[in-house]
Amino acid sequence: MSDLSTPLADVPGVGRPAVRALAEHGLRTLASLDGADWEELSELHGVGPAAGRRLQAALAEHGGTLQHPPAPPSGTATVTRGHTGTTAKDVVTHATEVDPAQYVESLGARRSREGRFLLELFGEATGAPATMWGPSMIGYGETHYVYASGREGDTFHVGFSPRRADLALYGLVGLPRSDELLERMGRHRRGTGCVWVKKLEDIDVEVLGELVAHAWETDPGTC
């Protein structure tokens, strides 16, 4: 069972009115919300910004996202380089011992080929080893986040996930040169903390490498 199969009722902080309203529209798990348009969901009675942010955070932990996700409040989290080992009990995505290269080889032909290319690109841009986080995310470096609520955890600095529908690229938005480089990079769509690409042929991979290097050199701040 994938992490995205988590029932919405089990996502911490999401109230019953929101769960009921989403269920009435056939949305009962995180997987069913992946790629859904928040601007449409926010029109449902009982589904407010707080629920939207918690659902987006849960999706992001498993490599998913809402389209047009709710903006987090300013200063919601402080992010610093390095890890502490202190993580909230409900955070289920952690670094694993799985070999990223072996994981990539287990994918379908196109995603396997793209995964090998991204392993090389991210490795060259960061100079860091690749680590599997959860079942499908490949990360480089480590950061620690602390939300205003006190909830905290460790995650990776930059990374990617060669998912079946899209390539997810993490840690590349909200940086000094993000808008400039993403405009030059080519066809993509953005989520909170994530960039989605259908296939590598749609983008300029040299610009992607420049963006990854920029993200690696930029200290994380608040989000």
pLDDT in tens, 143-156: 876 666 666 777 88
Domains located in the chain, CATH noted? 3-61 (1.10.150), 77-217 (3.90.1150)
Going by their DSSP bridges, the two strands 167-170 and 158-162 should be labelled as antiparallel
- pLDDT tens, residue by residue, 2-53: 468 889 988 877 888 889 999 999 999 999 998 899 989 999 988 888 888 8
pTM for the whole thing?
0.65
Checking if the pLDDT of 87 tops 70, the result is no
